[in-house]
A and B are shown apart, each in its own frame.
Chain A
């Protein structure tokens, strides 16, 4: 078996499991970056997404000023291409994590890169909750928090899971680009060790691993979205 690998995937085997350029650290770095930036970017995006819906003209706390703040910030960050954001945000990164390069440094641009995308998706998901249901809740004297938690978030639960899945998959894509600032991970493996060194087998395996990761996320997401959906039985 291992002879077979050595014969057909020589460069893959050469990278080894551990150590600098090893497969395990690369997988670990991708997971690390995905997890933490999903958490930070996700929370930020969630807050902005909810904010956009609640403060909108027909929202339950309509507030033109706040809405336009949320809206402008999200639009601004969405407008910056990620690869430029990486460079543009470097001083801020330095300020927050004390360095501009490496896996941890990549978390800052990754979080900021994914949050506006997520915010817009959350906004759309929550807007899909029928205004009539909110009105019905108000008619029985529901409070602000009842409407946010029991109506918006609960009614849109399945849709939120679905968009979170989409966002995670995009994020995995972004972590590959973060390789550009020495963030490591599978993307870095595919480019730095594979493409740049004409080691096509390494590129192939790194790509395959990313693909597997994406598929796992998609399957889990679809499954959860399904069990939390009672709208269309």
Chain B
């Protein structure tokens, strides 16, 4: 059993404005294991930032329970409200690093001062602070730039400074709120790989908020999809990618799952009596044979590809095929057995799903 380092339970966040009420987060429960890179995706305004700002109580929830690393920071139910005291909260916050879309560095301080700022209350001596700050800058690949001001650095470099600052107090958790959204593709990849690296080397737990699915595909192992203040779907990366249930998830993750949405929109799959649609998912390692040809030759089953796609999840290529399989029931059954033996994940897609839309359950 892996340890749950972040436990958000039944979190609600409501903003009261003059003439309206915004339920930014509704009854959200999110548990993150130590060592996870947990992607949270959703459209603008879905409540992603509001939800993760609850983790270090930059945003006080309206109700719910926040437990980080075994310590309850916030708890509120009908009768009682408990908020951790300010001093302890400050100490806890130092163990939860956070990076932002616009870096948010102190413009009037050099980058080493920016990192040292985070160490002000660390109890280290001035000299040790300087040393540690320098080491952190080296870690993120900025040695030699310590006396530059933020404005003198590129966006990618500024985000590295922000990462160094976030890591200053040796946190166990790093929250990344759209940290790569303002960067070009090359810097985006470098920053993501840096996060992945920190996760592997330091065992850092990362909460990765983004609307770029590519970021999630590259480094996350779990993913949650938010829509209008709720988490509508969550799970392991591979599972979500190959077997998304919600339409919004499919829109988001694109690729194979988007195929269902597309097939729905165009009602492409009109089936005959002896036809069925299957989604076949395989990782490249387990497919060495020309499977579709084998289906025809060995089992007398025709396979008509209506969609195919390949994508790379955490460095592993994963292929997806949507095929219409035609043949006698008995032959189809044998064919499926054969596919299973090739360690291909088979999901039957009902015609209903494709014609009517909605959930593919």
Residues of A within 8 A of B (CB): 130, 132-133, 135-143, 146, 150-151, 154-155, 157-158, 228-233
Interface residues of B in 102-118 (CB under 8 A from A): 102, 104-109, 117-118
**Interface 9-residue window, one of B65-73, B160-168, B234-242:** B160-168
Whether the Cβ atoms of B108 and A155 lie closer than 8 Å is yes
| Docked complex Cα distance between A151 and B107 (Å) | 9
Write the nearest CB–CB distance from A59 to chain B, whole angstroms.
14
Interface residues of B in 236-280 (CB under 8 A from A): none
- Quick one: which of A138, A141, A229 contacts B121, CB cutoff 8 A? A141
Q: Does B84 contact A (CB under 8 A)?
A: no
Q: A132-B100, A140-B166, A150-B109 are in contact. List 19 more A-B contacts (CB 8 A).
A: A132-B102, A132-B104, A135-B104, A136-B98, A136-B165, A138-B58, A138-B93, A139-B93, A139-B97, A139-B98, A139-B166, A140-B118, A141-B118, A141-B121, A142-B117, A146-B117, A230-B151, A231-B151, A233-B152
Whether the Cβ atoms of B94 and A154 lie closer than 8 Å is no
| Docked complex Cα distance between A4 and B37 (Å) | 85
Residues of B within 8 A of A232 (CB): 151
Residues of B within 8 A of A155 (CB): 106-108
Whether the Cβ atoms of B104 and A141 lie closer than 8 Å is no
Residues of B within 8 A of A136 (CB): 98, 100, 104-105, 162, 165
Q: Does B333 contact A (CB under 8 A)?
A: no
Residues of A within 8 A of B98 (CB): 136, 139
Residues of B within 8 A of A (CB): 56, 58, 90-91, 93-94, 96-98, 100, 102, 104-109, 117-118, 120-121, 149-152, 162, 165-166, 168-169
Residues of A within 8 A of B56 (CB): 139
| Docked complex Cα distance between A137 and B119 (Å) | 11
Closest to B98 in A: A139
Given contacts A150-B117, A233-B152, contact A139 B58 (CB under 8 A): yes
Residues of B within 8 A of A141 (CB): 90-91, 93-94, 118, 121, 169
| Docked complex Cα distance between A46 and B98 (Å) | 32
Q: Which of A136, A143, A232 lies at the interface centre, i.e. has the most chain B CB atoms within 10 A of its CB?
A: A136
Write the nearest CB–CB distance from A216 to chain B, whole angstroms.
26
Write the nearest CB–CB distance from A39 to chain B, whole angstroms.
25
Closest to A232 in B: B151
Whether the Cβ atoms of A233 and B151 lie closer than 8 Å is yes
- Quick one: which of B94, B102, B106, B149 contacts A150, CB cutoff 8 A? B106
Residues of B within 8 A of A137 (CB): 106, 117
Residues of A within 8 A of B165 (CB): 136, 140
Closest to A231 in B: B107
Residues of B within 8 A of A228 (CB): 108
Whether the Cβ atoms of B108 and A139 lie closer than 8 Å is no
Whether the Cβ atoms of B120 and A146 lie closer than 8 Å is yes
- Quick one: which of A140, A146, A230 contacts B149, CB cutoff 8 A? A230
Residues of A within 8 A of B91 (CB): 141
Write the nearest CB–CB distance from B48 to chain A, whole angstroms.
15
Given contacts A230-B151, A232-B151, contact A140 B117 (CB under 8 A): yes
Residues of A within 8 A of B102 (CB): 130, 132
| Docked complex Cα distance between A151 and B114 (Å) | 11
| Docked complex Cα distance between A26 and B91 (Å) | 58
Whether the Cβ atoms of B106 and A133 lie closer than 8 Å is yes
- Quick one: which of B105, B108, B120, B150 contacts A157, CB cutoff 8 A? B108
- Quick one: which of B96, B120, B152 contacts A139, CB cutoff 8 A? B96
Residues of B within 8 A of A135 (CB): 58, 100, 104
Write the nearest CB–CB distance from B145 to chain A, whole angstroms.
14
Whether the Cβ atoms of A230 and B107 lie closer than 8 Å is yes
Residues of B within 8 A of A142 (CB): 90, 117, 120
